[in-house]
Amino acid sequence: MAVTFNEEDKLFILHTNHTTYQIKIGPFQTLLHLYYGKKVDCNLDYLMQTMDRSHCGNPNEAGTDRTFSMDTQLQEYSTFGMGDYRISCLEVLNKDGSCAADLRYKSHNIKISKYQLEHLPSVYAGDSVTTQTLIITCIDSVTNLEVDLYYGVVEEYDVITRAVKIRNMGMKPIELIKAFSTCLEFPSTHFDLIHFYGKHAMEREFERTPVGHAKLSVESMRGLSSHQHNPFVILADQAATETSGECYGVSFLYSGNFQAQVEVDQIGQTRFAMGIHPAFFRYEVKPGEEFVTPEAAMSYSSEGLQKLSHNFHKLIRNNVCSGKFKDIRRPVLINNWEATYFDFNTEKLVQIAKAAGQLGIEMLVMDDGWFGTRKDDYSGLGDWVVNTKKLGTTLKELTDQVNAAGLKFGIWFEPEMVNEDSDLYRKHPDWCLQIPGRPVTRCRYQLVLDLTRGDVRNYIYDSISAILTSARVEYIKWDFNRSIAEVWSALKEKTHQGQVFHDYILGLYEILDRLTTDFPEVLFEGCSSGGGRFDTGMLSFMPQIWCSDNTDAIDRLKIQYGTSFGYPISAVGSHVSAVPNHQTGRTTPLSTRGVVAMAGTFGYELDINRLTEAEKEEIKEQVKIYKRNYDLINTGDYYRLTNPYETIGYTAWQFVSSDKTRSLLSVVYHQSHGNPDFHTLLLRGLKEGSIYRVTGTVQNNNGTVQNDNETVQNNKGAVQNDNETAQNNKEPIQNDKTAIQEYNGAALMNAGFVLPTPWGDYQSFQYELTMCLE
Ligand code: GLA
């Protein structure tokens, strides 16, 4: 049993394959946290400590005993107002104006299988994993507020999820002003907070900050999970690395405002908590009603960050993403945005589709500009009617022509937005979020529709379903290109405006649920000015999200590195675009752009008709490599072999199949240097005693790419030499001419793989490894 209750010791024990979580019903029915970490198969309540400490209050029942204080105990769900002054999870405004809640254990329930949340995304059970649920009910006996603490255990992935239901069993309404989803307590302080900050076109950069006595907060108040911070964070032992050390990851299954807070308290204990951001959050819960928090999924690894990422990758891929596209190969697509921007018509699109089809590309996505009066980003959002004048055809005619070229057809929407210059806004000015009497804040010249309203949600659903049923549309890119400001809904009373931020996200999830249920054959891809809403909440409705508007291969090394900590490669929308790159002006080889985009859902974002024949041939080869390695990339274990922030001069990563028989190694050099260093790279995840045949694409010293799957360059120390082929640099770089094709797994992992020397900036190398002798 993954969840047990020890009646005698009043102890809840949660086990996953490698972790243990223990909760104790403490003095006066308080709910105390004992332990979360590596698996331990015994009672740990000896860890609970008490001491008389000045200025730390004691529960009323303690009488003259001053040793037990909520200000110093490790707790499962901290509350404000009863003498705990650290980060609180729950803040309740009572009818009498007081702000206090005092939660004590009331009852519990253990259930087979993982719970599901209504109206909110949650990890689901599925066939391949063993799951269980623990619900602990606590009560504030003065107001009769009941709080159900939900714990879901997913044994195989070492995941414990948490969510909270807050039920008003009293006679008077209460208001929630903070209702977090999870709390983690540690008896010591030795952590770094790893989080992923960013901005538009540079999302999810890695930052590692020591946790100390000053409170740290990672958060969004923008109405979306945001480019600036991501709702996935890690608490890592200060000594933890990719391959060693303890770390805890928390992924919040929510796409709106969030906050993750961490602090070390006065006696050196660490508290972490996460949930909906309390800024302008006021949620009324009337007698008999309940409020449900979003879910947080937590995992622990004693083997470093790599294992932690593997746990989240599997969880999200298998038990968060849903629908048919999570398991089948998704099409290699070409998107016209960077090829044409707003300047396109059916003829142009079909030309791109025809050229793309010949290279093995499988879907054309028509981006922004096909509807209403949209000719730039000043008008048209909200009017989801095909602009047949601009296209020169109907949508049906366009999709027929694209299909005739052998490609599927996809389309862009930004359903949550409206331009003031649109028929929709002229007709329904009250449908957007804005404060009466206050001028609106524009962002990209657009306003945000009020998704808390049923009529608005129906309009969005109807507009999209009309397009989906009018032509063969097999993909939707769901965009969201601004932060929310002026949070005020015309249909809500003034006392309920504090619900708008959260109800907006519930409204969004309702629409996505309806559409994905009614159109199961349509593949959805999330987007928010690139990766501004890249979170596990969105991934429960759509298996992939456009990772960043920045398609520059070198910047992407950092963006995709950061993204990989909490999110699977199968979720990372990544395309090859033209050079000089439209965001950075940098020119990188096509081969490198291909290698980088292959660490994602892979596609193109350029006009193929402007490429040379040689470039087209190269693309054809890239598409073949991607398709051949699709399973490996999308379901294999992902290894970050180097860190792009380090100064070694290159970034390398590796995919390994679960049976270890196949691997794909990718290496991108940042810049080339005179008299270059040798580089030997330690691979990971292979089988020690086995022999691997290595094939790959290498580059000659002219900087042109040789696509030869039978060649490998200049590697020594291998098990077996083979005369077959080798690509050698002549002038000016002299490389060893020995071609080696087979290596011992232990040698590759412990002695290393010798990398070729790059000639020119931003060169890349890609190798396919196949076990040939077990
Ligand atoms: C956003 C997206 C882009 C593109 C444009 C269209 O910026 O991230 O990929 O779709 O909108 O306006």
- In the predicted model, what is the mean pLDDT of residues 328-346? 98
Residue entry with tokens 């000719």: 375
Of the residues 377, 481, 483, which should be mutated to test ligand 1's pocket, given the most ligand atoms within 8 Å of the CB? 481
Question: Ligand 1 centre from 549 Cα, in Å?
Answer: 7
Q: Is residue 225's pLDDT more than 90?
A: yes
- The pLDDT, as a whole number, for residue 142 is 97
Q: For residues 99 and 274, is the Cβ–Cβ distance under 8 A? A: no
Please name the helix (run of DSSP H) or strand (run of DSSP E) that holds residue 121, with its range, or none. Answer: none
pLDDT score of 697:
54
Nearest CA to ligand 1 atom 12: 368
Q: Tokens 């070492």 appear where?
A: 158
Helix (H, G, I), strand (E, B) or coil at 753: strand
213 part of a folded domain:
yes
Of 78, 152, 79, nearest to 109 by C-alpha is: 152
Q: Does 79 map to a domain?
A: yes
**What is the reported pLDDT for 19?**
98
pLDDT (average), residues 481-503: 97
Cis peptide before 580 (omega within 30 of 0): yes
Residue 645 has pLDDT above 50, yes or no: yes
Q: Is 549 in the pocket of ligand 1 (CB under 6 A)?
A: yes
Whether the predicted pLDDT of 621 surpasses 60: yes
Given ligand 1 and candidates 527, 547, 575, 582, which is best to mutate, with the most ligand atoms within 8 Å of its CB? 527
Q: How many domains does the chain have?
A: 1
Active-site residue identified among 76, 535, 607, 618 = 535
Q: In the prediction, which pLDDT does 719 show?
A: 40
pLDDT at 581 over 70: yes
State the average pLDDT over residues 596-617: 97
Over residues 676-707, the pLDDT tens digits come to 999 999 999 999 999 999 998 554 444 333 43
**Which atom of ligand 1 approaches the CA of 528 most closely?**
8
Determine the Cα–Cα distance for residues 534 and 224; give it in Å rounded to an integer.
Answer: 9
Share of the chain above pLDDT 90, in %: 92
The pLDDT value recorded for residue 740 is: 53
Domain of residue 278, CATH code: 2.70.98.60
Catalytic pick from 284, 377, 486, 615? 615
Residue 200 domain flag: yes
Q: Kindly state the average pLDDT of the residues 64-71.
A: 98
Cα of 479 from ligand 1 centre, angstroms: 7
* Ligand 1 pocket, residue 530 CB under 6 Å: yes
Q: What is the DSSP letter of 106?
A: E
Q: Is the CB of 529 under 6 A from ligand 1?
A: yes
CB 225 within 8 A of CB 534: yes
Residue 98 lies in a domain: yes
For 438, counting Cβ atoms within 10 Å of its Cβ (0-12 exposed, 13-18 middle, 19+ buried), the class is exposed
Q: Residue 220's closest CA among 537, 601, 682? A: 537
Residue 372 lies in a domain: no
Residue 729, token pair as written in the block: 């640099």
Q: Between 36 and 737, where is the model more confident?
A: 36
Find tokens 């920045």 and name the residue.
550
* Ligand 1 atom closest to Cα of residue 605: 9
307 contacts 336 by C-beta, under 8 angstroms: no
For residue 725, the model assigns a pLDDT of: 36
pLDDT at residue 102, as a whole number: 98
**Residue 615 designated active-site:** yes
Per-residue pLDDT tens for 134-184?
999 999 999 999 999 999 999 999 999 999 999 999 999 999 999 999 999
Dist. CA 732 → ligand 1 center (Å):
43
Residue 1: per-residue pLDDT: 83
Residue 44 tokens read as: 């740990």
Within a domain: residue 148?
A: yes
Strand order in the sheet with 333-335: 572-573, 544-546, 523-526, 475-478, 408-413, 363-366, 333-335, 603-605, 575-577
Question: How far does residue 381's CA lie from ligand 1's centre (Å)?
Answer: 13
Query: For 269-276, what is the mean pLDDT?
Result: 98
DSSP string, 263-327: EE-TTS-EEEEEEE--TT--EEE-TT-EEEPPPEEEEEESBHHHHHHHHHHHHHHHHT--SGGGT
Which pLDDT does position 708 carry in this prediction? 41
Q: Please tell me whether the peptide bond between 676 and the residue prior to it is cis, using omega within 30 degrees of 0.
A: no
**595 inside domain:** no
Mutate to test the pocket of ligand 1, among 344, 365, 368 (most ligand atoms within 8 A of CB): 368
Give me ligand 1 centre to Cα 200, in Å: 11
pLDDT band at residue 722 under the 50/70/90 scheme: very low
At residue 730, φ and ψ (nearest 5 deg) are: -95, -90
- Ligand 1 atom nearest the C-alpha of 530 is 8
- Give 424's pLDDT tier (boundaries 50, 70, 90): very high
pTM (two decimals)? 0.95
Indicate if ligand 1 lies below 6 Å from the C-beta of 419. Answer: no
Residue given tokens 């819960």 in the structure block: 285
On the question of pLDDT at 583 being above 90, the answer is: yes
How far apart (Å, rounded) are the C-alpha atoms in residues 710 and 723?
11
- Give domain status of residue 455, yes or no: no
- Find the mean pLDDT for residues 516-528: 98
26 lines ligand 1 (CB under 6 A): no
Residue 278 neighbours by CB under 8 Å, 6+ apart = 91, 177, 178, 259
Ligand 1 atom at minimum distance from 477 CA: 10
649-681 confidence digits (pLDDT tens) = 999 999 999 999 999 999 999 988 899 999 999
**Span 94-99, mean pLDDT?**
98
SS3 per residue for 391-449: HCCCHHHHHHHHHHCCCEEEEEECCCEECCECHHHHHCHHHECCCCCCCCCCECCEEEE
Q: Whose CA is nearest to atom 1 of ligand 1?
A: 529
CA distances from 234 to 162, 238, 304 (A): 16, 11, 11
Rg (the chain; Cα; Å): 28
- Report the distance separating Cα 113 and Cα 120, nearest Å: 18
> Ligand 1 centre from 334 Cα, in Å?
14
What pLDDT, on a 0 to 100 scale, did the predictor assign at position 671? 86
- Is the pLDDT confidence value at 734 over 80? no
Digit-coded pLDDT (tens) for 282-291: 999 999 999 9
Domain that holds residue 279: 3-35+67-319
Structure confidence at residue 735 (pLDDT): 37
> To test the ligand 1 pocket, which listed residue (475, 479, 545, 548) has its Cβ within 8 A of the most ligand atoms?
479
| Average pLDDT over the chain, rounded to an integer | 94
Region 509-538: what's the mean pLDDT?
98
The two counts, helices (H) then strands (E), for the chain are 14, 41
Question: Minimal CA–CA distance to 253: which of 181, 330, 203, 169?
Answer: 181
How distant, in Å, are the alpha carbons of 92, 129, 175, 514, 716 from that of 503? 19, 32, 15, 16, 61
What pLDDT, on a 0 to 100 scale, did the predictor assign at position 710? 39
Which residue's C-alpha comes closest to atom 7 of ligand 1? Answer: 529
Answer whether residue 281 shows pLDDT above 50: yes
Q: Residue 104: which pLDDT band, with cuts at 50, 70 and 90?
A: very high
Q: Taking residues 457-469, what's their average pLDDT?
A: 98
Quick check: 663 and 709 in contact, CB under 8 A? no
